[in-house]
Each structure stands twice: as structure tokens, then as C-alpha cells.
């Protein structure tokens, strides 16, 4: 049986609603809210659970609202709930995650901004082709299919306009969807747009730089990989460098380097870190272009594995006493020392095991841990709790209308 009527118990980290089928198997359902009675359709079967989507809302939650986009499930599945409810559920999910690890969090705030839409300074679109030509597209959640879109309500207007300008140029050159992978478009707060186009053929024709686009990189991307990997740079048009200001300091970056996508709330995070960070040598272990370390410290050491990001970090630390080192964090363990302050903003997988081991052997006096995955952050803090106490904790709604959550934990070394 691929359909069933169920009552939704709660929302879980990742954004789905949890319920139980008549068979006793757990089901994770997209497009539902706690307490709702819904008809669901199973889309994936696993050994211990299934994934499903809502087909019909029989008894809607009082928190439910009409989504702002027809294709909301592709990018922002929580458009279906009131914003206050979204922030409430995200805070509850954080508490539940840390509770499972038996971590007693201090009473914490969940910080959000009023702008639910038009906050993303970066988007990645796929393509769809038909008799009418090329269209922007997004992957349909829970399937391998795509949905035609006209941009995203989460994105800054300049990002959507930039994507449409590139689409227009591709259509004008009669480019077929089969030769394209994706396009990444990002914009500074001032509106300068840079983009990277990922294509599947090395003999891709030379485009004109579309109006409104400051710079465009065209990358050949290995067709065997579904990801937008930068296999070979075919050519560049214009200037792909953009700049933004954080806590009064200017940062440059390009389309292919990591930079936070919601800058107003990122500024809030940086202000908090700067307030709580103690004196000492700051080591920014997943430093990127230097946005955290340079914003909160006078002479940080920035560790970054990506060569492009490292080159951006060197530009951002010019005329300062900062050091930039191009290596992986796990190869820079010698910088984890008791007299230092450690800043970590790791990928979703959390801290590398070698880093956690080194911290326990040579515990820095303070760790500033910003995380895009509270589950791995809670796991890491559990590993470190014999040496550290949580002196400050806060949650953030970096990505309104989506299930994504960011958390900041400041860990203070225990006194013996």
C-alpha cells in the first residue's frame, strides 16, 4: 500500500513531519504540520522507515497558511506555516537534539529577522528544455524530476534578475538543456552580480556577457558527476569579484568561494561572537574568505583548504597582521594550543575526528563553534564536555521558510 491516512506527531530536524503507519513503521512526510490528519503517498521505502508526501490535508493545523510559491517544496518547504510557528518549532528542534545527547543547554534565545523572503544572495538553478526553449528549473523534492521556475522568492531580486539574464543569453544562442548542468548566481548587497555556468561539453560556445552581470565563469563539469564540480575553466567574462561589508570591514569574494547567504543575520552572529570572545590569539580553522576571523579579531590566523577562498582571504587581510594558511584544518593541528582561541564553522559533517582529539589533548581556552548542523554540533560538544562548559548558546534562523537551523555555542575550558 502506497497511501495511508495518518496523524502527524511532530516536526523533525530536516523539515519533515513524523508519523507512524498502521504497520508500525515510521514515516517522514513533506508538506505537513504537527497535529494534522493527512492522506500521504509513500515515495521512498527504507528498511526501518518510509518517506512520503502529503496528498490531502484532511484536518489542517491552525498554524498552516497558503504557501507563497507553487513549487515551495523544492526550496522552502516551510512556507506552509506562520513565521512565529516556524521560529518556535526550530527552537524546539534544537532543544530536542541537544536533549538526546544529555546536554543541558543554558536558557537560550532563537534569533530571527523580519525578512522571510528576498534574503538569499546566492542561488543555484538547473535547466529544463522544451519546445519553447530553455527554462530555469529546480529539483523536485523526493524525486529525480525537475520543476520549471521563474526564480525564487527566497533570493534577492538581483539574483533572480541575473539568472533570467543568463537564461535569455542561452536561449538567444540556441543552447540546448542537454549541454547544461546548473548556473550559480550571487549578488552583493549593493547589487553587483557574478555567476558561474556549469556545462557538460568542453567545446561550449562563447557567450556574450549578459546585461546586469558583472562577471561570468563558464566551467566544464564532469558529466558523470551530478554535482556542479569545477573540472575545467573554459573561459571568463567580465569581473566575477563582488564585495560586502561585515561589522564595518570590507570583504571581497567571487562566485566560486563560500560566503554566507543571509548577511543581515550573519552580522548579528558576528556581533555576538565579538562580544563574547576573550583576549588571545584567534585561530579560525575553517576560515573561508576570512569573514568570521577578520570581523571579530585583530590578527587572526586563518586556516582554509580551498585555494580560491585562500586567495580571497589574503586580499581581505591585506594591510593587517593576520596570517592565511592554505591547508586543511586536520593538517593544521599544531595551531590548537591551550593559549589560543579556536573558531570553528565546519561543514555539516562537523569537526574532523583528528581536530576533536587534538582539542582534548591540548584544550584551547575558548572555542567559538558556529554550526549549520545542530546534530553534529551536539555530538562534538558531547565529546568535548569533559574539558569544556557551554558559556553561551544561541540559535538562528539563517534560512527563513526552510528547515535549516544554525547554532552558536561558546565553550569555555574548565578550570581544574
* Separation between Cα atoms, residue 235 and residue 122, nearest integer Å: 21
Whole-angstrom CA distances from 380 to 105, 195, 204 are 14, 35, 45
Mean pLDDT across the chain = 96
pLDDT grade, residue 357 (50/70/90)?
very high
pLDDT grade, residue 127 (50/70/90)?
very high
3-state class of 61 per DSSP?
A: coil
Q: Would the pLDDT of 368 be above 80?
A: yes
pLDDT, residue 1, reads: 61
pLDDT grade, residue 251 (50/70/90)?
very high
The three-point CA angle 109-114-120 to 5° equals 100
Q: Would the pLDDT of 141 be above 90?
A: no
* Separation between Cα atoms, residue 234 and residue 113, nearest integer Å: 40
Each residue's pLDDT tens digit, 179-205: 999 999 999 999 999 999 999 999 999
Each residue's pLDDT tens digit, 267-289: 999 999 999 999 999 999 999 99
Whole-angstrom CA distances from 161 to 149, 185, 228 are 13, 10, 21
pLDDT, residue 149, reads: 96
Range 43-59 average pLDDT: 94
Q: Would the pLDDT of 256 be above 90?
A: no
Each residue's pLDDT tens digit, 283-334: 999 999 999 999 999 999 999 999 999 999 999 999 889 999 999 999 999 9
pLDDT grade, residue 56 (50/70/90)?
very high
Per-residue DSSP letters for 316-347? HTTTSS-EEEES-GGG-GGG--TTEEEEE---
Range 104-117 average pLDDT: 94
Q: Would the pLDDT of 112 be above 90?
A: yes
Range 223-228 average pLDDT: 92
pLDDT, residue 319, reads: 85
pLDDT grade, residue 140 (50/70/90)?
confident
- Residue 214 near residue 238, CB atoms below 8 Å: yes
Each residue's pLDDT tens digit, 371-396: 999 999 999 999 999 999 999 999 99
The whole model's pTM is what?
Answer: 0.94
Q: Which residues contact 313 (CB under 8 A, 6 or more apart)?
A: 287, 288, 289, 290, 302, 304, 324
Continuous segment of H or E residues that includes residue 97: helix 83-100
Backbone angles phi, psi at 115, to 5 degrees: -80, 110
* Separation between Cα atoms, residue 310 and residue 304, nearest integer Å: 6
Domains and CATH numbers, the chain: 3-64 (2.40.50.140), 88-115+262-413 (3.40.50.150), 122-243 (2.40.50.1070)
Amino acid at each position: 500500500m502506497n497511501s495511508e491516512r495518518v496523524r502527524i506527531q511532530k516536526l523533525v530536524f530536516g523539515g519533515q513531519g513524523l508519523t507512524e503507519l498502521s504497520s508500525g513503521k515510521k514515516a517522514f512526510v513533506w508538506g505537513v504540520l504537527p497535529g494534522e490528519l493527512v492522506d500521504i503517498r509513500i515515495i521512498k521505502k527504507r528498511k526501518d522507515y518510509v518517506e512520503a508526501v502529503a496528498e490531502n490535508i484532511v484536518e489542517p493545523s491552525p498554524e498552516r497558511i497558503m504557501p507563497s510559491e507553487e513549487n515551495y517544496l523544492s526550496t522552502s518547504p516551510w512556507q506552509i506555516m506562520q513565521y512565529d510557528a516556524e521560529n518556535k518549532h526550530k527552537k524546539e528542534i534544537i532543544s530536542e537534539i541537544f536533549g538526546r545527547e544529555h546536554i543541558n543547554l543554558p536558557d537560550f534565545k532563537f534569533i530571527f529577522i523580519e525578512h522571510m523572503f528576498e534574503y538569499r544572495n546566492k542561488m543555484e538553478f538547473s535547466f529544463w528544455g522544451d519546445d519553447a526553449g530553455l527554462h530555469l528549473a529546480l529539483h523536485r523534492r523526493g524525486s529525480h524530476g525537475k520543476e520549471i521556475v521563474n526564480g525564487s522568492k527566497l533570493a534577492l531580486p538581483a539574483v533572480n534578475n541575473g539568472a533570467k539574464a543568463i537564461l535569455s543569453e542561452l536561449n538567444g544562442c540556441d543552447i540546448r538543456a542537454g549541454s547544461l548542468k546548473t548556473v550559480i548566481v550571487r549578488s552583493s548587497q549593493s547589487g553587483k552580480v557574478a555567476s558561474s555556468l556549469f556545462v557538460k561539453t568542453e567545446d561550449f560556445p562563447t557567450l556574450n556577457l549578459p546585461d546586469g552581470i558583472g562577471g561570468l565563469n563558464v566551467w566544464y563539469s564532469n558529466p558523470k558527476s551530478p554535482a556542479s564540480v569545477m573540472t575545467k575553466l573554459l573561459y571568463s567574462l567580465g569581473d566575477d569579484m563582488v564585495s560586502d561589508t561585515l561589522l564595518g570591514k570590507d570583504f571581497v569574494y567571487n562566485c566560486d568561494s563560500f560566503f554566507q547567504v543571509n548577511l543581515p543575520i550573519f552580522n548579528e552572529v558576528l556581533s555576538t561572537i565579538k562580544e563574547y570572545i576573550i583576549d588571545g590569539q584567534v585561530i579560525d580553522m575553517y576560515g573561508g574568505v576570512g569573514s568570521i576571523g577578520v570581523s571579530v579579531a585583530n590578527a587572526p590566523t586563518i586556516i582554509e583548504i580551498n585555494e580560491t577562498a585562500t586567495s580571497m582571504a589574503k586580499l581581505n587581510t591585506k594591510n593587517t597582521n593576520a596570517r592565511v594558511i592554505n591547508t586543511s584544518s586536520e593538517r593544521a593541528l599544531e595551531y590548537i594550543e591551550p593559549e589560543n582561541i579556536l573558531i570553528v564553522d565546519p561543514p555539516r559533517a562537523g569537526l574532523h575526528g583528528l581536530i576533536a582529539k587534538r582539542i582534548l589533548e591540548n584544550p584551547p581556552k575558548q572555542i567559538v563553534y558556529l554550526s549549520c548542523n545542530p546534530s553534529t554540533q551536539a555530538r562534538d560538544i558531547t565529546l568535548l564536555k569533559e574539558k569544556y562548559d557551554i558559556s553561551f548558546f544561541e540559535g538562528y534562523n539563517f534560512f527563513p521558510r526552510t528547515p535549516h537551523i544554525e547554532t552558536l555555542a561558546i565553550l569555555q575550558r574548565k578550570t581544574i
